[in-house]
């Protein structure tokens, strides 16, 4: 049996059926070219009879790409097939994808006909499509809920009529993996000339089993998989291209391979996400933001010692530069040390222990500690013990009350406390500090800056004081901007105190 798995990408047809994710022709061409570069074998470019825009897109994609087969979808209707053939006129490699429902639900309640009439219409559609193209794929819609013996009769009839590919869709995502596997196995064992055609999977993700069903189909004889980038598609989506491709690559002992250049997966995923305005969920396998991110101290330590301890895929293989070590309150010393060294600092064990305690305090206040935060922690540690240090800050303020601040400063080992009011919480705090320090300084500059955009992020504060004709600078950072401001003022005053 052939060990090459054909990648049939339907991002531009089934994937584009997601509400709000429609693309114009220029955007579709951009995606089609990216899919060609990625290495997909078949691009389902659209459903030509559905709209003039879809027809035009199939025409233009047929002109724009040359390596993949260009496929157009139809119903088992002559006019659909004629329009599809016309849309494919410029395609170097062309395929018509026609079909009809085969489950009791579709036969009785959607099409409202008989099982025998379904077979006749299926055969007629395939024969008519063969008049326009050699490569005809037949889809047995809702095959997942179809009786296997009846499904085998339909498939045998369309193979005899000239189908080159037979698609066994789990249209509603109903099947369990073993059920879908049994369905493919049954067709392999009971359909005459099944070995002369390619069996294709087309699984939806309504119960979260699209990839599992697809893999089970492949393991039981399917040699084409119908997929979309990022698993997009109607309702809960389609089988994810990246999941199937990397599953086969990771399990190399299966000896099954694709023509996909996996290093382009992440890039193509981001293109589709951007153009379709459909964000990729952070925990999405392979291409999600957290797919190669580690925040648990135990996991970080393991990954830093040997990546394979917690990663079965090398992120480089899908186009991501490296794993991400995310510093949070659950991170350990090993992760913090790794990040500090990556920033170019070398610390002793005692220095690292001191920064780690500050790191945990900060990590409890905000979700993620970033590189700028670490630089600030290192800078604070380098300052050592100061003659003036903020020990206490309590502020009361609101729309209908006068701001009041109580400040406690350790001056040469002894804590002094003062309370003051002001025009706002920072002004009140600064006034309380002035009452304690009793130096005639002038605040020349006061700058507040957020490091990033998160509401829980560190705020950086720079102050410039003029005292006796000299300028003194103070700096601090904290998740609380009032605290950062007072600490920056005290930092500058400590330098004045050292000089006096």
Please name each of the domains of the chain with its CATH number: 6-276 (3.20.20.70), 293-381 (1.10.238), 385-499 (3.30.160.270)
How do residues 317-333 score in pLDDT, each as one tens digit?
999 988 888 888 889 89
Q: 119 pLDDT exceeds 80? A: yes
Q: 116 pLDDT exceeds 80? A: yes
Q: 391 pLDDT exceeds 80? A: yes
Of 473, 469, 470, residue with least CA distance to 461: 473
Ligand-binding annotation for 299, yes or no, is: no
Of 96, 176, 178, residue with least CA distance to 139: 96
Residues 32-45 have a mean pLDDT of: 98
- Quick one: what percent of the chain has pLDDT higher than 70? 97
More confident position, 342 or 274: 274
What does the pLDDT read at residue 88?
Answer: 98
Helix, coil or strand: residue 213: helix
Ligand-binding annotation for 238, yes or no, is: yes
User: pLDDT-based confidence at 37, cuts 50/70/90?
Assistant: very high
How do residues 188-202 score in pLDDT, each as one tens digit?
999 999 999 999 999
What does the pLDDT read at residue 451?
Answer: 57
How do residues 277-298 score in pLDDT, each as one tens digit?
899 999 999 999 989 988 888 8
- Quick one: angle between helices 25-38 and 265-275, nearest 10? 170
How do residues 238-278 score in pLDDT, each as one tens digit?
999 999 999 999 999 999 999 999 999 999 999 999 999 89
Beta bridge pairs of residue 449: 460
User: pLDDT-based confidence at 130, cuts 50/70/90?
Assistant: very high
Lowest model confidence (mean pLDDT) among 222-226, 384-388, 480-484: 384-388
User: pLDDT-based confidence at 375, cuts 50/70/90?
Assistant: confident
Predicted structure pTM score: 0.79
State the average pLDDT for the chain: 92
User: pLDDT-based confidence at 18, cuts 50/70/90?
Assistant: confident
What is d(CA 69, CA 78) in angstroms, rounded to the nearest whole number?
22
The total of other beta-carbon atoms located within 10 Å of residue 350's CB is 8
Decide: 133 and 173 in contact? Cβ < 8 Å.
no
What does the pLDDT read at residue 327?
Answer: 87
What is d(CA 80, CA 119) in angstroms, rounded to the nearest whole number?
18
- Quick one: what percent of the chain has pLDDT higher than 90? 70
Residues 416-430 have a mean pLDDT of: 95
What does the pLDDT read at residue 199?
Answer: 98
Ligand-binding annotation for 213, yes or no, is: no
Classify residue 477 as exposed, middle or buried by CB count within 10 Å of its CB (0-12, 13-18, 19+).
buried
Question: Could you give the dihedral angle defined by the CA atoms of residues 114, 117, 118 and 119, in that order, rounded to the nearest 10 degrees?
Answer: 130
Ligand-binding annotation for 364, yes or no, is: no
User: pLDDT-based confidence at 454, cuts 50/70/90?
Assistant: low
DSSP string over 373-439: HHHHHHHHHHH-S-SEEEEEEEEEEETTEEEEEEEEEEETTEEEEEEEE-SSHHHHHHHHHHHHH--
What does the pLDDT read at residue 388?
Answer: 87
Of 323, 316, 212, 215, residue with least CA distance to 261: 316
What does the pLDDT read at residue 382?
Answer: 56
How do residues 150-184 score in pLDDT, each as one tens digit?
999 999 999 999 999 999 999 999 999 999 999 99
Residues 209-227 have a mean pLDDT of: 98
What does the pLDDT read at residue 399?
Answer: 84
């Amino acid at each position: 049996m052939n060990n090459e798995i054909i990648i049939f990408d339907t991002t531009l047809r089934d994937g584009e059926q997601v509400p709000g994710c429609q693309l114009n022709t220029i955007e579709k061409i951009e995606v089609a070219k990216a899919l060609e570069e990625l290495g997909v074998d078949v691009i389902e470019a659209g459903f030509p009879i559905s709209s003039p825009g879809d027809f035009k897109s199939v025409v233009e994609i047929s002109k724009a790409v040359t390596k993949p087969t260009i496929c157009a979808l139809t119903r088992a209707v002559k006019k659909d097939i004629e329009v599809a053939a016309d849309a494919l006129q410029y395609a170097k490699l062309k395929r018509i994808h026609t079909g009809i429902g085969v489950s009791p639900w579709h036969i009785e309640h959607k099409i409202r006909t008989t099982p025998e009439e379904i077979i006749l219409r299926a055969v007629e559609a395939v024969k008519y499509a063969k008049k326009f193209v050699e490569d005809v794929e037949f889809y047995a819609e809702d095959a997942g809920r179809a009786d296997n013996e009846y499904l085998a009769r339909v498939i045998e009839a369309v193979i005899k009529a000239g189908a080159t590919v037979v698609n066994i869709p789990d249209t509603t995502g109903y099947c369990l993996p073993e059920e879908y596997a049994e369905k493919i196995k049954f067709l392999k064992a009971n359909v005459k000339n099944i070995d002369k055609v390619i069996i294709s999977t087309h699984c939806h993700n309504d119960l979260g089993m699209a990839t599992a069903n697809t893999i089970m189909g492949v393991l039981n004889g399917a040699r084409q998989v119908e997929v979309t980038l990022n698993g997009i598609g109607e309702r809960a989506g389609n089988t994810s291209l990246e999941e199937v491709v990397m599953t086969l690559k990771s399990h190399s002992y299966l000896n099954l391979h694709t023509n996909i250049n996996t290093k382009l997966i992440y890039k193509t995923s981001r293109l589709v996400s951007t153009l379709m305005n459909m964000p990729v969920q952070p925990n999405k396998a392979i291409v999600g933001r957290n797919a190669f991110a580690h925040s648990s101290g135990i996991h970080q330590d393991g990954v830093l010692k040997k990546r394979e301890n917690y990663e079965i895929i090398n992120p480089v293989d899908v186009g991501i530069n490296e794993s991400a070590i995310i510093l949070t309150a659950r991170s350990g010393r090993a992760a913090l040390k790794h990040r500090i060294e990556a920033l170019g600092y070398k610390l002793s064990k005692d220095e690292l222990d001191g920064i780690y305690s500050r790191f945990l305090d900060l990590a409890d206040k905000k979700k993620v500690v970033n590189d700028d935060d670490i630089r600030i922690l290192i800078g604070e540690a380098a300052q050592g013990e100061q003659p003036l240090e903020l020990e206490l800050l309590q502020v009361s303020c609101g729309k209908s009350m006068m701001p009041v601040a109580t400040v406690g400063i350790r001056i040469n080992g002894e804590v002094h406390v003062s309370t003051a009011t002001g025009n706002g919480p920072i002004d009140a705090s600064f006034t309380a500090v002035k009452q304690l320090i009793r130096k005639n300084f002038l605040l020349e500059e006061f700058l507040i800056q957020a490091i990033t955009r998160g509401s829980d992020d560190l705020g950086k504060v720079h102050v410039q004081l003029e005292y006796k004709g000299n300028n003194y600078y103070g700096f601090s950072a904290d998740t609380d901007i009032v605290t950062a401001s007072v600490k920056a003022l005290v930092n500058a005053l400590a330098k004045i105190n050292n000089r006096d």
